[in-house]
Structure 1
Amino acid sequence: MTKLWKKISAAALAAALMLSCMAGCSGGGTESKKEEGSSAADESMSQGSSDGSAESSQSDDYAEHMTLSVAVWGIGDTIIDGEDEVRDRLYDKFNIDIEPYAVTWGDYGEKIQLWAATNQLPDITAYDAAYTDTFRKWRDQGVVRALPDNWASFENVAKMLDNAEGRAMNEVAETEANPVFYGIPRPNYQSDEDGITDYGIAIRRDWMENVGVTKVPETPDELLDLLKKFVTDDPNQSGKADTVGLAGYTFSWMTVLMNGECPDAVNGFRWSFAEDGSLVPCFMTKNFLNGVKVMKEFYDAGVIDPDYIIYKGEDGRDKFLNGQAGAYAHSGPTYSGTGIMAERFGEAYPDKSLDEIVAFVPLFANSETGKTTFPAPSKYWSETYLSSNVDDAKAQRCMALMDYLLSVEGYEDISLGIEGVSYKKLGEGKYEVLPMTKEDGSPMTVAERYPCTGLYSLGFWGPYRQDIAPGHTDGQIKLYDDYQTLMFDEKKAAVADAPNTKGLLLDETKDLATADDHYEEIINQLMTSDDIDAAWQDMVDSYMSQGYDQVIAEMNQLYKDAGRQIRITLCELPPLPQGMVGAKDVCSALFFFIPFCSFATKNGIMQKRIYTKFMSGRQKNEEKINRKRHAHRYIYRCGMHGACPRGFSGIHSRLRDFFRACAAVQFSVHRAGFHAVGRSAASTAANAGGQPQGPCYQPHHGCIFQGEISGASV
């Protein structure tokens, strides 16, 4: 195809898109959408019911009483003897009772691995096996069973399974028409922006005042100076030298200190882009070395808790809550993360709001670029497995339970307690927590009244429902909102530019890729070394001599074979002309910007600059949109993530067709708009006889899209 014909075809395509968008935006879609929240437990699963009633069918399905054994964090405090109306209602609904296999954060790994090795896993087990050899062993050795073939009939479970990440966690190809799943991913976040609170450092604001500091630190130097004072200046006013600077849930969480220099290495190793665009383990980059140097500064200054390497259970958090540590590295100000703080500090300081006691340090910016980025969040963490000892009938009951826990109905029934007693429903997705008291007149929490409410974590993590969860204190809400404003509006934080390797699992070199298993050990050795530069180089050389060159080669080949060859960097664009704020205006925006697309070729690689940023500020749910920082969204992101403001998914198909043709990229509808799967259509290149090739290009000013395509028929 000649250059001229490419230009003509592209121009015609752009024109066609604009016309179709303008037509498509003139009215709403005609497809009906099933209301979210129902579960398979409430739908007819039996074809033998003559009257078709769900109640009759459910009675038949659950005629046999079953005992389900379950292992999930904290279940020893969730399923207990005594009165619990929530538990009893759950038992009656599914004709079950639950046998708890008690595990805690401190012992779950040891216990579950022992049960697996001796074929004694409970019926349902929550564990973080995905992307590890444990998953393969459990699957291949028959430790866990495949989920039932009718998994798709459990709508809420199916949403967790049949998506790019759900398939990747189960090692199922995206193109597999008849997938076999083993683990149900446990959702954590609903949008990429929520990942800004995945990691964070909380500090004692009241201690800051005690040592004469009024400004929350925003740089490593400022935080280091404050932590020194926390160690030496009697911040808890005990008259004793009994405080430490920084504690953490585990040592891994303390690596948030590296975020400014190497977000790819925070709380685990990820793959990074090398200067030539290829993939390299992040711990082999100079960015990683610079990040560990930041940690070393804190270690050498004596502000890191000396017990950091032997933390068990809640040791680190307890030091912060008990007044022994002035800072605590764990999650950012998520409502679930600050819930324990609100409860514990509320008891100690009943006259103070949480935001008067605690502040959160913003993620550090890069020392060279001044930009703040954060790791691409995983929307799921850990999975739910069924033991191979579970027969088909019990597997159906387990699936129904999981589907219920993932539904809005299940959220209301389990997490919130009893309507009219512990909460009141104000409307769709809106609730009010009702006060409850103990016999002595003191306040009673929902968990104290109904311990079974903690069973929600078998289905999902707290942040997944935090947009509708009630009961947050004013202090929690202020911490969250202020942090979002600081990070997105002031710091302009964005997801770090990193390769999307989810689902790309090493095979031939998996036994050589051992660094992940020694994450804390590697960082600790470097942080405590006398010559960190030499120690880092020795570490890199050692892994390369052990075969990491083969590991790198296989991962790069997997990345290319998966078609993930386009690398995109986002940059700021000028706002649209004033007044472009509605759904129809998106079409106008495309009409306004697309004529400015430029097309050029270099060594057979086509680069395109597509101006597609728009601004939105007048959504129906403007307050919620603004609070979640959805007011400014990019219409297109490739290689990692993509999103647009809610309410604009109606033009998704037209945009998808345009970008598929222009960039051979596949899109799928996402909750927050549309989401770039980040997979270039390798078949397109293959059919044209070409292969993705060449370096990645840095974007010019005002360019949101610029990548590389070879052999694509544009």
Structure 2
Amino acid sequence: MKNTLKKIVCSVLALALCVSAFAACGSGNNESSSSGKASTASTESKTETSGTTTNSGEKIDPTACEDTMDVTIAVMTGFTQSDSRVEKMLEEKYNVNIELVVLPGWTDGQSKINLLMAGDDTPNIMWWWGMDNDFLQWKNAGKLVDVSEYMNKYTNIRDYYNKMDPLTLFYATEDDGAVYRIPGDVSEPSCECLWIRQDWLDNLKLEVPTTIEELEEVMRAFTEDDPDGNGQKDTYGLGGDGYDPRSFIPWIYSYDYTHYNRWTVDADGNVGYGPAMPNTKNWLQDVSELYAKGYITPNITQDTDRDEEMANGGFGVTYSWCAYNNPDAQTMKSFYASNPDAKWVPIDQVKGENGNPQDDPATSAAWAYFGITNTATDPERLYAMYDDMCGLDNYIERRYGVEGEDYTIDENGLYNPIIAPESDENNTQNIGLNLFNNLFNRKDEGLISNTPETKALFEKSGANSRDRAAQLVEWRNPADLTLFTPIQADVEDEVNRYIWAVIGGQDSVDNWDTYISTLNSLGLEEAVAEAQEVYNAQAEKLQAYQDNKTNQG
């Protein structure tokens, strides 16, 4: 009956609007928004590069389409099993057949993406992260569809990003207004904070640290004074992900204009490469001394998983996700299952050498993107469908399921999962919660798993990261750094070698000048000069973009 009604609605709309007999979707009554610059490409040219399109003059209803459309979508994170309950729900709602193209994982995912983009069976929707130079090649080869016109007709995605951070779409938009990459996941302004074992503080009668010196004393006590009271020397001050300097944010941000892999810019607009800035030497010295004293978990210089390490316990300080504060956080649930009397609490960032405690800022730009490829038979219908899926109610159903069946909202308005998206039941029962994760994630009221306390924690961390955000550069098109791009892998290899060798004691900050000379021999000095020019040009484009948005109201 549902499909029959759908066909009737679609047919009536098609006749009423005099749509071509080959256009199989109904039109809505909402007018297209004029915000942003729409693509000027004609329907004819889009047909040549992207297959058959619907009537681009009218806004279509993706839930009222008579013809069944086959859709292939690349996924890697979130739910990846085929024919789940959620997938079938989407198929019926939009009259499509969905095929998931599952990428192999973080190690081999990008290689697989390149193979798929180079072949004849490219998914209709491709997801990727990083790969800036590859994106440039795909765009120039006509592999991706310009969705700017669609984005201004079907506005859930556009309106969400403009509400959260208007700069997000600037970093996704080309100079001519075209949009080939849709932001897939954009973090909160800051999504991490400093965590500490309150039970260990209480056991040792210590106060919450407020300065870097106090934090280091707490780390010493957590290492040497038996904070768990088991009579064994089996605890450490700080722990975290292996090979990830984010664990050392309190020391890194004790100094200005430094970073472990990002570009920096000072108050006068002077650009530098963070790992080569003078203050990098200072925080490396601080961290290496703490590591040598045994206050940091030894395996932090190895390939370890931060969540797993935290779940296992054994250390009392970490810099990690604000979302750990949610009662359904799997890492914390695993930790408390083995340590029921323990208590992790988030604390304010400590004050360092520069007197300005800052949390780690996320970028306005997405860390992952997705795009509609030239294999899509009807890119407008495909975009309209996906944009509808990203509306608030649809997003909640796709990520969390059906209220009363998969979760409840208690009398205090708090989310309580019956079947959590990360749970084993979601997989074993093939429910499909969190399908298409990182192909658009809401961080507003659609993130119903955040408690009020967690929301406040995100807001505090975000507000406490803005000064540092002003010191870090975001590149609209990293491929514009034509001198840095070919040397980037070699430069980053040397940076990582030196950072971890210094921390682990195999190298020393006394060899800083040799390290800088090595980077410059790879071409870094010339790359920094070019980066300055690119930054200046980008600043002008950003100002023009903001002026245009202001003029549009």
Task: Please say whether Structure 1 and Structure 2 have the same fold, judged by a TM-score greater than 0.5.
Answer: yes
Describe the shift of the 1:228–1:68 C-alpha distance in structure 2 as closer, same or farther (beyond 3 A): same
**Deviation readout 1:490-538 (Å, 9 max, x if unpaired):** x897445426553264344234652346553342234345774432222
Tell me how far apart the structure 2 counterparts of residues 420 and 401 of structure 1 sit (CA, whole Å).
Answer: 26
Secondary structure of 1:373's counterpart equals coil
Q: How does 1:285-324 map to 2 (within 5 A)?
A: 285-311=277-303, 315-324=305-314
Describe the shift of the 1:518–1:121 C-alpha distance in structure 2 as closer, same or farther (beyond 3 A): farther
Describe the shift of the 1:279–1:458 C-alpha distance in structure 2 as closer, same or farther (beyond 3 A): closer
Q: How does 1:547-566 map to 2 (within 5 A)?
A: 547-564=523-540
**2:252 aligned with 1:259:** yes
CA shift at 1:342, angstroms? 4.4
CA shift at 1:292, angstroms? 1.9
Q: Is the 8 A contact 1:321 1:344 kept in 2?
A: yes
**2:503 aligned with 1:527:** yes
Aligned partner of 2:89 in structure 1 is: 89
Q: 1:503 aligns with which of 476, 486, 506?
A: 476
CA shift at 1:53, angstroms? 6.8
Aligned partner of 1:360 in structure 2 is: 346
CA shift at 1:89, angstroms? 1.7
Aligned partner of 1:154 in structure 2 is: 154
Describe the shift of the 1:471–1:389 C-alpha distance in structure 2 as closer, same or farther (beyond 3 A): closer
Q: 1:417 aligns with which of 401, 404, 416?
A: 401
**Deviation readout 1:28-60 (Å, 9 max, x if unpaired):** xxxxxxxxxxxxxxx999972528675995466
Describe the shift of the 1:182–1:205 C-alpha distance in structure 2 as closer, same or farther (beyond 3 A): same
Q: Given residue 50 of structure 1, which amino acid in structure 2 is its aligned partner?
A: A
**2:279 aligned with 1:279:** no
Aligned residues: 495
**Deviation readout 1:248-275 (Å, 9 max, x if unpaired):** 234322241433334654563222228x
Tell me how far apart the structure 2 counterparts of residues 563 and 435 of structure 1 sit (CA, whole Å).
Answer: 45
Secondary structure of 1:452's counterpart equals coil
Q: How does 1:642-657 map to 2 (within 5 A)?
A: none
Describe the shift of the 1:231–1:561 C-alpha distance in structure 2 as closer, same or farther (beyond 3 A): same
Q: 2:512 aligns with which of 536, 540, 551?
A: 536
Q: Is the 8 A contact 2:14 2:27 kept in 1?
A: no
Aligned partner of 2:130 in structure 1 is: 129
Q: Given residue 180 of structure 1, which amino acid in structure 2 is its aligned partner?
A: A
Aligned partner of 1:687 in structure 2 is: none
CA shift at 1:165, angstroms? 3.7
Q: Is the 8 A contact 1:256 1:329 kept in 2?
A: yes
CA shift at 1:437, angstroms? 8.2
Aligned partner of 2:440 in structure 1 is: 460
**Deviation readout 1:125-144 (Å, 9 max, x if unpaired):** 432126x33333443456x4
Secondary structure of 2:367's counterpart equals strand
**Deviation readout 1:52-84 (Å, 9 max, x if unpaired):** 6759954663622425242231333xx3567x3
CA shift at 1:556, angstroms? 2.0
**Deviation readout 1:612-669 (Å, 9 max, x if unpaired):** xxxxxxxxxxxxxxxxxxxxxxxxxxx99xxxxxxxxxxxxxxxxxxx9xxx984846
Gaps of 5+ in 1: 1-42, 566-638, 641-659, 675-714
CA shift at 1:332, angstroms? 3.6
Q: Is the 8 A contact 1:320 1:327 kept in 2?
A: no
Q: How does 1:132-211 map to 2 (within 5 A)?
A: 132-140=132-140, 144-148=143-147, 150-152=149-151, 153-159=153-159, 164-169=167-172, 172-173=174-175, 176=176, 179-189=177-187, 194-195=188-189, 197-210=190-203
Q: Given residue 125 of structure 2, which amino acid in structure 1 is its aligned partner?
A: I
Sequence identity of aligned pairs in percent?
17
**Deviation readout 1:108-154 (Å, 9 max, x if unpaired):** 44654565576765443432126x33333443456x42345643333
Secondary structure of 1:302's counterpart equals coil
Tell me how far apart the structure 1 counterparts of residues 216 and 256 of structure 2 sit (CA, whole Å).
Answer: 19
Aligned partner of 1:373 in structure 2 is: 358
Aligned partner of 2:68 in structure 1 is: 64
**Deviation readout 1:178-219 (Å, 9 max, x if unpaired):** x33332112434xxxx53x43334233233334x14322333
Describe the shift of the 1:436–1:200 C-alpha distance in structure 2 as closer, same or farther (beyond 3 A): closer
CA shift at 1:101, angstroms? 0.7
Secondary structure of 2:447's counterpart equals coil
Secondary structure of 2:483's counterpart equals coil
Tell me how far apart the structure 2 counterparts of residues 461 and 471 of structure 1 sit (CA, whole Å).
Answer: 13
Q: Is the 8 A contact 2:265 2:271 kept in 1?
A: yes
Describe the shift of the 1:558–1:435 C-alpha distance in structure 2 as closer, same or farther (beyond 3 A): closer
Tell me how far apart the structure 2 counterparts of residues 161 and 435 of structure 1 sit (CA, whole Å).
Answer: 27
Q: 2:16 aligns with which of 50, 73, 83?
A: 50
Secondary structure of 2:317's counterpart equals strand
Aligned partner of 2:54 in structure 1 is: none
Q: Is the 8 A contact 1:279 1:556 kept in 2?
A: yes
Q: Is the 8 A contact 1:185 1:383 kept in 2?
A: yes
CA shift at 1:391, angstroms? 2.8
Q: Is the 8 A contact 1:422 1:433 kept in 2?
A: no
Q: Given residue 293 of structure 2, which amino acid in structure 1 is its aligned partner?
A: A
Tell me how far apart the structure 2 counterparts of residues 263 and 398 of structure 1 sit (CA, whole Å).
Answer: 46
Q: Is the 8 A contact 1:69 1:124 kept in 2?
A: yes
Tell me how far apart the structure 1 counterparts of residues 327 and 530 of structure 2 sit (CA, whole Å).
Answer: 38
Q: Given residue 256 of structure 1, which amino acid in structure 2 is its aligned partner?
A: I
Q: Which has the higher contact order (CA 8 A, sep 6+)?
A: 2
Tell me how far apart the structure 1 counterparts of residues 79 and 260 of structure 2 sit (CA, whole Å).
Answer: 26
CA shift at 1:344, angstroms? 2.7
Aligned partner of 2:317 in structure 1 is: 327
Gaps of 5+ in 2: 1-8, 18-25, 30-59
CA shift at 1:92, angstroms? 1.2
Aligned-pair Cα RMSD in Å:
4.5
Q: Given residue 366 of structure 2, which amino acid in structure 1 is its aligned partner?
A: W
Q: Is the 8 A contact 1:247 1:317 kept in 2?
A: no
Tell me how far apart the structure 2 counterparts of residues 238 and 112 of structure 1 sit (CA, whole Å).
Answer: 50
Aligned partner of 1:656 in structure 2 is: none
Tell me how far apart the structure 2 counterparts of residues 338 and 421 of structure 1 sit (CA, whole Å).
Answer: 17
Tell me how far apart the structure 2 counterparts of residues 241 and 266 of structure 1 sit (CA, whole Å).
Answer: 33
Q: Is the 8 A contact 2:183 2:370 kept in 1?
A: no
Aligned partner of 1:546 in structure 2 is: 522
Aligned partner of 2:215 in structure 1 is: 223
Q: Is the 8 A contact 1:259 1:363 kept in 2?
A: no
CA shift at 1:418, angstroms? 0.9
Aligned partner of 1:586 in structure 2 is: none
Describe the shift of the 1:136–1:501 C-alpha distance in structure 2 as closer, same or farther (beyond 3 A): same
**Deviation readout 1:442-461 (Å, 9 max, x if unpaired):** x9988887742212523334
Tell me how far apart the structure 1 counterparts of residues 539 and 462 of structure 2 sit (CA, whole Å).
Answer: 33
Aligned partner of 1:402 in structure 2 is: 386
Tell me how far apart the structure 2 counterparts of residues 288 and 184 of structure 1 sit (CA, whole Å).
Answer: 34
